[in-house]
Amino acid sequence: MRKIYILGLSLFSSIYTFAQIDTNIIKNLQEEAWEHSQLEIYGQELMDDIGPRLIGSPQYAAANNWLIEKYKDLGIQAYNEEYGTWKGWERGATEAHLTYPRYHQLHAIQLAWSPTTPGEKYLEADIVILPENLDSISFENWLKTVKNKIVLISKPEISGRPDYNWQKNAIEGDFDKHLERKRNNDFLWNTQLNKAGLNFQNLQQKLEKAGASALVSSSWTGAWGANRIMATKTTKIPHIDIRLEDYQLLYRLAKRGKNPKIKIKATSKHLGEVPVHNTIAKIESKENPDEYVMLSAHLDSWDAGTGATDNGSGTILMLEVMRILKKYYPNPKRSILVGHWGGEEQGLNGSQAFVEDNKDLMPKISVLFNQDNGTGRINWINALGFLNAYHYFQNWMDYLPKELREEIKTDFPGNPGPRASSDYASFLPDNVPAFFLISHGWDYGQYTWHTHLDTYDKLVLDDIKRNAMIIATFVYLACEEEEMFSREKANLPINPKTGERMEWPKERNAARDSKNYFSK
């Protein structure tokens, strides 16, 4: 890395025309990121010591305060900015056992904000499943039978093997047969729910109202051993997720009329509405203190794992970039601001609230860099419809080591797309050039995104180091630009689904408390 890095820098003076670019600063930023990284200790302190950071939990508040202390140690001013409240909850123990027709320990975990079992004691009841060929009338009749039962609410799976495993090992024709069976299974399940007017959310609420004792789901990702663990919509009865293999066992027993029973115990602390915050830090410029280059990553996570790749990796990355910049670029031409957002997982609430509460700041942000899709090295930049982004990024990337520069694909001028996927999108309605620096996947979507497998051991620290090199370089160059980043927009393309031209994103209001979230 170091040899390639030095060779890359030798080309800079002939390529780039910035008036005051100091290639020694860039060299120092990149060498510090690669050779003296603090990512390992930052990651262990955040993921191992504090743990998952569900919004409204004590662990989330602890992470806010941890960041404040880290920035204080670096000589960087930082503060927690309250933007609302959220339902306070702290995970406890989950136990689940099959007790009939045989004993079996089940792999189970509560969904976020799940109520406890009554008195936090064991609850034992019969298992039931949704009947086949449901419509709205038959569902309402069946609903009368679920009182004091534990209901399985996820679809059965055709196989517990991932598709790639079938493709690798099956004889010719069997893989296609497997895919066809899987498609038919999914179609029948979804058709049944649609006929009954059901979806995953309202099914939970209807079953709770009908007197079910508890709900059991299994949100398999399609990969070995990985389930997504997110939030329940119940407010009175416990809702647990059971791993694929155990869930399928329960489903098969119930379908065959074996009358399975399970015993569960769920404990947790319900803390009422609690204040929630964004953590903001700043390296202030003496030359242009009211112009900003901004960094962005969300601090909150789901809490089955420890939120390592979503988005602990982005959190420690931005902390590391600020550390490096403070050391080798302490007097930036523009102020450098970083937002560690809360409530991203519930709809970008922290970043949207920041935009709403700081309208006067938005025209002063030259450019924003957001990172939020796993631990991998940055390999794609979409210009999101900003017409002149090509000029900036193509020039900035000339300052990166060759192997990093060549891996980054770009989409110019791009477009902002139909849906917001991370906190950068909160800034687009205010015309802030806010960019999502997309990372190499490392099977993020299958294995770690919102799963119990999202833990420290999944971090790829060398890739995060590379990202620190890239972003520190971009921030320095963006600060040194003679003018603010251009906000001129390209004509957006035609949406092939509607036949109409895409529109620029419109502002949405942040959820300032949890009431509407749990009532949907």
- pLDDT per residue of the chain (520 residues) written in tens, 0 to 9: 444 343 344 344 334 444 579 999 999 999 999 999 999 999 999 999 999 999 999 999 999 999 999 999 999 999 999 999 999 999 999 999 999 999 999 999 999 999 999 999 999 999 999 999 899 999 999 999 999 999 999 999 999 999 999 999 999 999 999 999 999 999 999 999 999 999 999 999 999 999 999 999 999 999 999 999 999 999 999 999 999 999 999 999 999 999 999 999 999 999 999 999 999 999 999 999 999 999 999 999 999 999 999 999 999 999 999 999 999 999 999 999 999 999 999 999 999 999 999 999 999 999 999 999 999 999 999 999 999 999 999 999 999 999 999 999 999 999 998 767 899 999 999 999 999 999 999 999 999 999 999 999 999 999 999 999 999 999 999 999 999 999 999 998 888 888 889 889 999 999 999 988 887 6
CATH architecture of 2-87+273-489: 3-Layer(aba) Sandwich (3.40)
Give the CATH number of domain 102-259.
3.50.30.30
CB atoms within 10 A of CB 188: 13
Report the C-alpha gap between 437 and 384 in whole angstroms.
11
Parts of the chain belonging to CATH 3.50.30.30: 102-259
User: ∠ CA 322-324-329 to the nearest 5 degrees?
Assistant: 90
Residues 104, 111, 315, 226: what is their CA dihedral angle, to the nearest 10 degrees?
40
pTM as predicted: 0.95
Q: How many helices (H) and strands (E) does the chain have?
A: 16, 14
Parts of the chain belonging to CATH 3.40.630.10: 2-87+273-489
CB 508 within 8 A of CB 356: no
